[in-house]
Amino acid sequence: MTKFTGKGVYGAVAIGKAVVFRRQDAQVKRQHVEDTAAEIARLSAAEDAAIAQLEEIYNKALTEVGEANAQIFEIHRMMVEDEDFNESIIGMINSRNVNAEYAVAVAADNFAAMFSSMDDAYMQARAADIRDISNRIIKCLSDSTSAGSKLTESVIICADDLAPSETVLLDKDKVLAFVTAHGSSNSHTAILARSMNIPAIIGVGTDFLSAVSDGDTAIADGFTGEFILSPDASALSAAQEKKKQDEEKRDLLQKLKGKDNVTRDGRKINIFANIGSADSIGEALINDAGGIGLFRSEFLYLESSDYPGEEEQFRVYKRVLESMAGRKVIIRTLDIGADKQADYFMLGKEENPALGLRGVRLCLARPEIFLTQLRALYRASVYGTLGIMFPMITSASEIRDIYALCSKAKDQLADAGIEYSDKVELGIMIETPAAAIISDSLAPLVDFFSVGTNDLIQYTLACDRQNPDLERFCDTHHEAVMRLIEFTAKNAHKHKKWIGICGELAADTSLTKAFINMGIDELSVSPSFVLRVREAVRQIDLRKGAKKTDDKEMADI
């Protein structure tokens, strides 16, 4: 038994035969040509053929992974037609009298190297796209075809890396999992794997390919990122049990997918998902979340060695909004501080960091950082239904200061001729007792409230949630916390504003009935809890004398 570890980009378990994906790359040799005009004509014909192929792949992807994910092949078509790329190729043919295949390969190497050298992880991943389209053009020039897409049985595909077009063209019904030596979670292949609901592990390392022989029994665990070759009886049994449990959860999904989040007596509630990165969108969609109730934008900062720029943030927010296809997406602005630290912010040492410069306080203290994020958010707003919420609010004056910066960000975009939406909802997190107590004054200023129960509990009970010694004192169901939530809900509804809960308590199904009784309109939970909360909601009957619906009856609803 041999174990390799990479990064899981889609959580599921696959057990089956491993097969090494082998592509028949056209051999590119430098040749001298006299008639450069004829060579350029060959290039043009090959590019037309490549574009036709990409249109065919786009249509296939459209039906399998949806419009947002199929767009990569539209982008590939635009890359084929890119003036800079083509000028580089044609210039090489004319100046060096070389064949088109060689010119395409060299130009692609140069462009790929340029992308790979960039600091932005998203742009680095575009190097793979350049290589993909150049290989396609070269194959069209040499009239060669790609191998590896014809599968005769269900297998775990092992590869150095996979181009997006190779991923889509593989027979989905015969692919148990993808395991690659390289790749990144930002790559379109990883995105497509998640969209196609196929277990995927990336970054296993090149050594694993030499260890794989076609037909070897293997386990691909997309949850842990483990790839096991020739597993022993114990590992195989454990994987089979894990796979069985996962499939049982998916059976529950099939029973509840598409069902309304409605109580027996007709009260409807939204159930959204909390996510920390764009890579979690697939999990939210698979679990049938009605939207994204909390996108933790601070992870963009925590995973970076420097302040993420406007363009980088814009691409991430745009991707989330497009992928959710019109469903509401609520993005929390930067929430750095306390237990979430990034060295490059150079925050001074604080005696009580949980009570210090954090959340919106930091944003207002460093408005240029905040404006960069706000511009990126408003730019992305035209691609979906966006809500922005601000953390760590304690006063109305903070809201007014925030709105002034929102207006400034929009003015800057307008001056630059950049489009943004005027239909962005602006809300605040209720995380401090102060915000809850003055919620009657805050409600008229905002579009919605979202209760962050983790911090609300901490601040209400004066219990550091990072301190394990205080666990017995930190009663998450404390009457004071429940009263603050109910009080805030009443004030929200008095001013005709909606209120949600995005903290850990939202997933506590022992409180679901109490929250609905309070008038909570939305519960936002980890994607894996969406269906569990939906089931709890559908069992509730708030009519007097109503009995609880049992699980068997629920399955038939």
Query: How big is the chain, counted in residues?
Result: 557
**Active-site residue, 502 included:** yes
* Identified catalytic residue from 188, 363, 406, 463: 188
Report which secondary-structure segment, H or E, holds 434: helix 433-437
- Work out the number of other CB atoms within 10 angstroms of the CB of residue 400: 10
Residues 140, 158, 463, 502: which is the catalytic one?
502
Q: Please write down the HEC assignment for all residues of 212-245.
A: CCCCCEEEEECCCCEEEECCCHHHHHHHHHHHHH
Query: What is the Cα–Cα distance from 374 to 364, expressed in whole angstroms?
Result: 12
- Cα–Cα dist 392/403, whole Å: 15
What is each CA distance from 133 to 30, 54, 77, in whole angstroms?
19, 9, 8
542 DSSP 8-state letter: -
Cα 255 to Cα 187: distance, rounded to the nearest angstrom: 32
Give φ, ψ of 13 to 5 degrees: -115, 135
How many CB atoms sit inside 10 A of residue 367's CB?
15
Annotated catalytic residue 493: no
Pairing of strands 13-20, 217-221: antiparallel
- The DSSP result for 10-54, as a single string, is E--EEEEEEEE----PPPP---B-S-HHHHHHHHHHHHHHHHHHH
Instruction: Assess contact for 137 and 46: CB atoms under 8 A.
Output: yes
- Measure the CA–CA gap between 397 and 390, rounded to whole angstroms: 13
Element (H, E) at 64: helix 36-80
Question: What's the CA gap between 540 and 547, in Å, rounded?
Answer: 9
The position carrying tokens 């930190």 is 474
Reduced 3-state DSSP string for 157-196: EEECCCCHHHHHHCCHHHEEEEEECCCCCCCHHHHHHHHC
Tell me the catalytic residues: 188, 502
